[in-house]
Each structure stands twice: as structure tokens, then as C-alpha cells.
Amino acid sequence: MSETTGDAHPDGSRKRVTSWQIRQWWRKNQWLAIGWLWLAAGILGFVGFARYFAALGQSRSFGDLLYLTIQLFVLESGAVEGPAGLELQIARFLAPAVAASTAVLALALLFYERFQLLRLRWIHDHVIICGLGYKGLVLAHGFHERGDRVVVIDRDEDNDLIDPCRKLGITVLIGDAASQEFLALARVDRAQYLFAVSGDDGANADVAVRAHAHVSKQSGPTLNCFVHIVDPRLCDLLRKHGPATDKDNRFTLQFFNVYDTGARAVLAQHPPFDRGPDGEPHLLVAGMGHMGESLIVLGAAKWRAQHGEANERLRISIIDRNAGELVKSLVLRHPQLTTACELVPLTMEIPSPDFVRGDFLFANDGGCDVTIAYVCLDDDTAALTTALALRQKVKEDGVPIVVRMRHDAGLATLLGGLHGDDSRFDGLHAFGLLDRTCRPELVLGGTRETP
């Protein structure tokens, strides 16, 4: 069960979502739509003139009709004597309107790009975000709210997240963030922070290398570079060396990972070590992607730190369609887990008949055997469905269920708003991964366990 950190457009009312979808469609298809309008105006004008002259008993050649039609777009041929048919009536208004709209749109695009580049000539102490996924969007929004000036670089001109950024007044450059050209355009030599947050670790590292090469050639303030590494273990290995600083103090490099940071925050907010009926805690992790792995590894480390001398092992049950293989791989990478934990792989689909029965939740005597459950699926709807299914089985036992969701908005907001109003949702706790881990103050502060 792989995890992603992509997400949907920020939730709002049905009207807001519809208007956003219309704007996105127009931004992607505006030139195609204008092309069709040009064609429609031309056809209507040609047919209209042909019928007009036929009604007068006059014969005009194809070339004459085409020339008159073209003149409609510059207001040269629409004024005719006598009644004009419906086609010509529409065409002589539509054609100049389409021509004017095309000119205005072209000028707006031209001057917008020039204006954005002009603004960048004097920008300094700003934040550059390379990669406009949802991590990038949350970071851009957070820094913008702090009052920082933000520049975003993304190679995908059809990215649906460009429009929300530009609406906030954030400059968005379309191009390769790892190129010297776009780093120079973004004035990386004057920036305070640079974040490389695409989904590709290699691309993020390349951005950092190119940025370092660029700023090392020039004088200016220190550039603090933060590189997101998708693999939590690799990120931890890189981070153990501490922030890297070049000899001229022009560049510092730090690594972060939203899954690791999120797992720390979840464990701080929802401690996993409450004792069960048999006196021992029993954790359930549904979904063993990056977030699930981080919860297991960090939970084991906490347990070992608190109970290592007692030689007690923490029991963790793991549900995933490939649970057995994933647990073997995890133990190979973290051999210390075997001394701190008893890992119980439960290989099953979510949902499946075995999962729906929920036998894994109960001991042989029929009592609930799980003390806390963490749902770490990559899809918000699937995660909430899974959490509700677990809740149905343990609603009388007061087992807390923590649901990893993409944002604190949307389904997470719904879940929070229903606490106390609907007993079916008592004990369910939503954790918006990106909103909790991509806050500027949290990323800039490192990986401290924050509530």
C-alpha cells in the first residue's frame, strides 16, 4: 500500500469547487476555446453573407465571401443594407469580440510574464519553492501568510495548483528548477530559504547541488536549503550528520521528511503505550506505507527508551496486502526492532472478508486486544472508511483510532465537527499530514516532536 502526498483542491462549498473547476478548465483550454470561437464566427459570417447576397439575387464568388468574412473581425464589412440573416447578425458581433478578446488575452499574458520578471529584479530575503505539489502548495501558502515573499518554480505549465498560488500573488515560474537559468531568474543568490519538494529525491538533490553552485560564486546572504527526501530511513541517515554548511557560510543544507515528522507528531498527540486488559499495549497499524513504517520505527524507539530495561516487547499488528514481505524488509533495515517489538503481520486486503470480521482485534476470550489503532492509507476516503469499520468493532471498548489524512480540511474537518454530535465518531481522530508537517515553523525548526 504505497503512500502519496498528493491531494485534491482545498475543500469548499459546491459553488466554490465548481467555479474553481471552471477556472482550471479555462486556463488549460482557453486558446482551444478561442480557436473554436474564431472558427464559429468565420463559418457564421461566410454562411450569412452567402444567404444575404442570395436573397438580393446577387452571386458572389467564394473569394469575395471569404474576404468579407475576414473583414468582419476588424469591423470592415458588417454594415450591410437591408435585413441581415441570423447567421450574419451573430457573426458581425461575435467576430470582432473574439478578435478583441484574443488581443487582450495575448497582451495580458505578455505583460503578466514581464511584470513577474520585473518584480524579481528587486526581490530579496524571499522563499523559493521548487516543485508545486501539495507539499509545495502548503509551504507556499504558509510562508505567504507569514508575510514572506514567495517564488515557486515548477516545470508543468498545466499544474492545477498554479492558479491558487497566483491568486495569492505568489510568483510562479514555469521551468526546470534545477537549471541555472531559472534559479537565476528566481534570484536564488538573494533568497533566504529554498525548498526542494518534488516527489523525486534525485531531482530534489539536483536542485540543491545547482543552487549551491550558483550562490557559491556570488556574495550575499546565507541560503538555507531544505531538501525533502521521500524515504524516511535515507532522510534519517542524511540528517544524522546535521546541517551542512559550506566554507563561506553562503549555503546550508538540511533534509526533512513529512512522514517522519508526521509520525513524531502523531505519537506525541496520541501516545501509544496505554495498557490493555492484559496489562500490555497492543498497537494496530493499517497500511504500511512510509507513514506506517515511520510510526512503527519511532514507536519502537520510544518503547525501547521507556521500557528497555524491563525486557518487555511492544506488540504491533500490521495490516497490509503485503504485510509479511513488508515486515521482513522492515526488520532487515531496522534489526533493532526484533528486540523491542513483536511484529505481527496480518496479510489481507482492506477491505476483505477477513478484515470485516475483525478477528485480529480480539483475544481468545473475546475481549478487545488492541489498545490503539493507526490508519495510514494514502486515500482519505479509504482511510476514513477503514477507520469507521474498525470503530464499529471496538466502539464499546473505547479504543482510540487515529486516521492519517492529507489535510485538516475536507473529511478531516467533517470528522472533527461530528465529535460529540454523533457517538459513531467518538474515538476517531484525524491527523492532516501535510497541514501538520509542512508548516513553515515546523520545517524550519527541524524534527522536534511537536503537538
**Higher-confidence position of 5 and 404:** 404
Examine residue 450 and state whether it is found in any structural domain, yes or no: no
Looking at the fold, whether 277 and 304 belong to one and the same domain comes out as: yes
SS3 labels along the chain: CCCCCCCCCCCCCHHHHHHHHHHHHHHHHHHHHHHHHHHHHHHHHHHHHHHHHHHCCCCCCHHHHHHHHHHHCCCCCCCCCCCCCHHHHHHHHHHHHHHHHHHHHHHHHHHHHHHHHHHHCCCCCCEEEECCCHHHHHHHHHHHHHCCCEEEEECCCCCCCHHHHHHCCCEEEECCCCCHHHHHHCCHHHCCEEEECCCCHHHHHHHHHHHHHHHCCCCCCCEEEEEECCCHHHHHHHHCCCCEECCCCCEEEEEECHHHHHHHHHHHHCCCCCCCCCCCCEEEEECCCHHHHHHHHHHHHHHHHHHHHHCCCEEEEEEECCHHHHHHHHHHHCCCHHHHEEEEEEECCCCCHHHHHCHHHECCCCCECCCEEEECCCCHHHHHHHHHHHHHHHCCCCCCEEEEECCCCCHHHHHHHHCCCCHHHCCEEEEEHHHHHCCHHHHHCCCCCCC
Q: Domain for residue 8, yes or no?
A: no
Q: Range with the lowest mean pLDDT among 117-121, 247-251, 323-327, 409-413?
A: 409-413
Q: Are residues 347 and 382 in the same domain?
A: yes
What pLDDT digit, counting tens, does each position of 139-155 carry? 999 999 888 999 999 99
Cis peptide bond upstream of 351, omega within 30? yes
Q: Is the pLDDT of residue 209 over 50?
A: yes
Residue 6 domain flag: no
**pLDDT reported for residue 450:** 36
Host domain of residue 55:
14-117
The strand pairing partners of 256, in sequence order, are 228
Q: Is 360 a member of any domain?
A: yes
Provide the pLDDT for residue 280. 82
Residue 292 has a pLDDT of 94
pLDDT mean over 111-140 = 86
Q: How confident is the model at residue 13 (pLDDT cuts 50, 70, 90)?
A: very low
346 and 387, same domain (yes or no): yes
Q: Residue 309: its pLDDT value, please?
A: 64
Residue 1 within any structural domain of the chain: no
What pLDDT shows up at residue 407? Answer: 80
Lowest-pLDDT range, 10-19, 175-184, 249-258, 362-371?
10-19
**Do 283 and 432 sit in the same domain of this protein?**
yes
**Cα angle vertex 155, ends 8, 159, to 5°?**
25
Give yes or no: residues 332 and 371 share one domain: yes
| pLDDT given for residue 376 in this prediction | 93
Q: State whether 50 and 182 are in the same domain.
A: no
Does residue 91 sit in the same domain as residue 127? no
Q: What is the CATH number of the domain that holds 307?
A: 3.40.50.720
Confidence of residue 410 (pLDDT cuts 50, 70, 90): low
Q: Are strands 251-256 and 314-320 parallel, antiparallel or unpaired?
A: unpaired
Number of domains in the chain: 3
**pLDDT above 90 for 76:** no
Residue 4 within a domain: no
Q: Is residue 425 part of a domain?
A: yes
Picking from 117, 141, 172, the residue at the C-terminal end of a domain is: 117
Average pLDDT, the chain: 83
User: Based on the domain organization, do 385 and 424 belong to the same domain?
Assistant: yes
51 and 155 in a common domain: no
Q: Does a structural domain hold residue 340?
A: yes
Examine the domain organization and report whether 395 and 416 are in the same domain.
yes
Single-letter code of the amino acid located at 393? K
pTM as predicted: 0.66
pLDDT of residue 83: 78
Residues 60 and 40 occupy one common structural domain: yes
Asked which of 81, 96, 117 is the last residue of a domain, the reply is 117
Distance CA 380, CA 432 (A): 10
**Are 226 and 359 in a shared domain?**
no
| Model confidence band, residue 233 (pLDDT cutoffs 50, 70, 90) | confident
Domain boundary among 64, 90, 117: 117
Highest mean pLDDT among 165-169, 219-223, 269-273, 320-324: 320-324
